[in-house]
Amino acid sequence: MILFVVCCFIFLVLCLSFLMSYELRHKTIDFFKSLIPHGKSKFDSAKSFAEQMNQAASANQTQTHWHLQQWWILIAGFFLLSSILVFAFTRPIDPTKVEAEYLRKTDPQIYALLNGEILNPPPEVDEGLIDAAIIQAQILEGQNPVPSLQIPAGNPTVIDNEEFGDQRSSFDTTMIDRKWDKMHPSYKQRLLMVFKIMKERHGYEMVLLEGYRSPERQTRLSGNAATTLAKAYQSYHQFGLAADVAFKRDGKVVISERDPWAWKGYQLYGVVAESVGLTWGGRWTRIHDYGHTEFRMPGLRKNRESAERLIAEAQGQGLMANNISPN
């Protein structure tokens, strides 16, 4: 907008100068008059050259106009190369295809489970629904006892003390990231597969409460032993490899496991999550975190460099840096 105003101002100044200065008008008119003879001769030359090129394109002029036909070859090659370059540099890169190729090469297990399909994240849940769910969870805590723990049969995972948490104690909404863009493809596609199975097989619609968690927020939460003992870069949240989820029923978010319907959902969620290779917080031996899952990536070093690399891959930067073709 500013550039447009500046251009209009310059144009207005030139027009006023042209109208107010007789000498400027006279010189401008003489300049254009001098161009007419030269322009006519150049036009005639161009017209003659175009006629020669047209004759050279004829099959009957192969021997006599071969030197001009070389120009046709150069022109055709130029336009062909230009079209390829324009297509290559202007074609939008589909992040879904990039992610699919990345998983095919680095995580064939989840790629096979998806059968080549890449799942898209659901819309971000409304903050007001989560606030209402927190209030409802607090009410239920005061009314109902905690259900007896009935962990469904599966593959129990021995949990170390790196992260414990009851998701109800981490409801502080400050610095919470409910987006999917920083979640690593290896974990994100597993979690989306769990979402799909829970919806299609069990009728539970799921929502993301928190995915990526900044080191600053992790440090703040680690001050409360009832929430987590993991400090910054000790939790899989900093690597885009963990998330906390809840359910949605009749347009409302349901968080508390004291709700019988949600309690059953968390049990099903644990079974499904473990079936796709995730670790479920409901099997932890101290404080059970039923809405938490994480992907314990083999060979992962829990440090800042690894976290930055995985987050870059999650956002597509690392995938393109690894020369992964989006075809």
Q: Are 178 and 124 in contact (CB under 8 A)?
A: yes
More confident residue, 63 or 168: 63
Q: How far apart are CA 187 and CA 146, in angstroms?
A: 30
On the question of pLDDT at 161 being above 50, the answer is no
The structural domains of the chain, ordered by start, are 2-90 (no CATH), 95-321 (3.30.1380.10)
Pairing of strands 242-249, 205-210: antiparallel
For residue 60, give both structure tokens. Answer: 């009957």
pLDDT digits (tens, 9 = 90+) for 205-239: 999 999 999 999 999 988 887 777 788 999 999 99
**pLDDT average, residue stretch 295-316:** 93
Pairing relation of β-strands 292-294 and 242-249? antiparallel
Instruction: Count Cβ atoms within 10 A of the Cβ of residue 278 and give its class: 0-12 exposed, 13-18 middle, 19 or more buried.
Output: buried
Residue 232 pLDDT: 93
Residue 68 has what pLDDT? 59
Tell me the mean pLDDT in the region 120-125. Answer: 91
Pick the closest to residue 110 from 189, 198, 201 (CA basis): 189
Spatial separation of the C-alpha atoms in residues 232 and 102, rounded to whole Å: 27
Across the chain, mean pLDDT equals: 78
Residue 23 corresponds to which tokens in the numbers above?
């000498």
Give the global pTM.
Answer: 0.61
